[in-house]
Amino acid sequence: MTLHLYAVAEHGVELPPVDGIDGASLRCVQVDDLDAIVSDVDGATSPTEAAVLTHAAVVDAVAAAADAVLPARFGSGFEQEGAVATEVGARRDELLRALERVRGCVELGVRALVGDVAAPEDTGATDSGRTYMLARLERVRAGERLCADLDSALAPVARAASSSVVGSEPLVVTGAYLVPRGDIDAFQERVDDLHRERPELTLICTGPWPPYSFATVDAARS
Amino acid sequence: MTAPSSTPALQQQVTLLELVDRVLNKGVVLTGDVTLSVAGVDLVYVGLRVLLTSVATLERLDRESR
């Protein structure tokens, strides 16, 4: 038997009335003032579509009922309950800091797409290597500029921000913003403003999400 | 949430993509719980690449329809 981990929250978190992967019941593994939300699975969990969606649904439901929740990345599972307790205990301070960081906040996603950025021209054989590399460089720079533009427009209404380039043809940038629940409308207004200023961008907002992007080790340490 | 430029279909595709990306690539990791099978992850990402391509297509359709 294996334990699949969904999230870490403060002890006393309310377990939502939803099933875990393969219909298993959710339960808490308590470690001092923290609860790890888990369910039993047979063998290692593999990231099938159904399992991934169930994981997300459980994290959503837990986050809806608690002020501060750290979603867990989909993993292969722990062999025994003691291993969960040991790992949570070993990183207690870090987890508590991360919980403070996300308290009262949701994560909002913004994906920006731009077509036709510096499309490489067919210049024939002469100098094509150099032209190709320059075009690639321009794509990288365009991606960095778009990340910076998104962050400068949206980060002021967020407690934390993180953006990265995820595709070059078309140029796609994804940003994640940690926003207090009360500021979601203000954030949306900023997105609308940005779209008015940059009509060439296709902007797609997603969320609110539980704060997946701000529950990572690096985010917790920064 | 919706942005002014997105169609419902595009919105839905991107939401699914962002969901999978979050569940598999973000979130807190505890030691002992990180060994996803490469085959399993690859399978999911093959699906994601298909999705990404369809997002690009939808984006084009979206712009052409305006």
Q: What is the pLDDT along chain A (222 residues), one digit of tens a residue?
A: 789 999 999 999 999 999 999 999 999 999 999 999 999 998 877 778 888 899 999 999 999 999 999 999 888 788 888 999 999 999 999 999 999 999 999 999 999 988 655 455 555 556 788 888 888 888 889 889 999 999 999 999 999 999 988 877 778 889 999 999 999 999 999 999 999 999 988 898 999 999 999 997 543 333
Q: What is the DSSP letter of A138?
A: H
Locate A124 and state its tokens: 């024939």
B5–A202: do the CB atoms touch at under 8 Å? yes
A217 and A110 belong to one structural domain:
yes
Provide the residue ranges of all domains of chain B, joining segments of one domain with +.
36-66
Residue to test with chain A: of B10, B20, B28, most A Cβ within 10 A: B28
Q: Does B63 touch chain A (CB under 8 A)?
A: yes
A168 and A113 belong to one structural domain:
yes
A24 and A112 belong to one structural domain:
no
Name the residue among A78, A51, A55 with its Cα closest to residue A7: A55
Residue of chain B with shortest Cα separation from A174: B18
Distance CA A155, CA A5 (A): 31
**Assembly ipTM:** 0.84
Distance from CA of B52 to the nearest CA of A (A): 9
Which of A102, A129, A148 delimits the end of a domain?
Answer: A102
Which of A102, A122, A155 delimits the end of a domain?
Answer: A102
| Partners of A35 in beta bridges | A9, A30
Q: Does B41 touch chain A (CB under 8 A)?
A: yes
Taking a C-beta distance cutoff of 8 angstroms, is the pair A76, B35 a contact? yes
Which of A48, A68, A102 delimits the end of a domain?
Answer: A102
A155 and A214 belong to one structural domain:
yes
Q: Does B62 touch chain A (CB under 8 A)?
A: yes
B19, pLDDT greater than 60: yes
A144 and A58 belong to one structural domain:
no
Say if residue A208 is preceded by a cis peptide, omega within 30 of 0: yes
A128 and A204 belong to one structural domain:
yes
**Secondary structure of residue A150 in the 3-state scheme:** helix
Q: Which domain holds residue A173?
A: 105-221
Residue A162 confidence (pLDDT): 92
pTM listed for this prediction: 0.82
Residue of chain A with shortest Cα separation from B3: A204
A115 and A217 belong to one structural domain:
yes
Whichever domain contains A191, its CATH number is 3.30.70
Our count of domains for chain A comes to 2
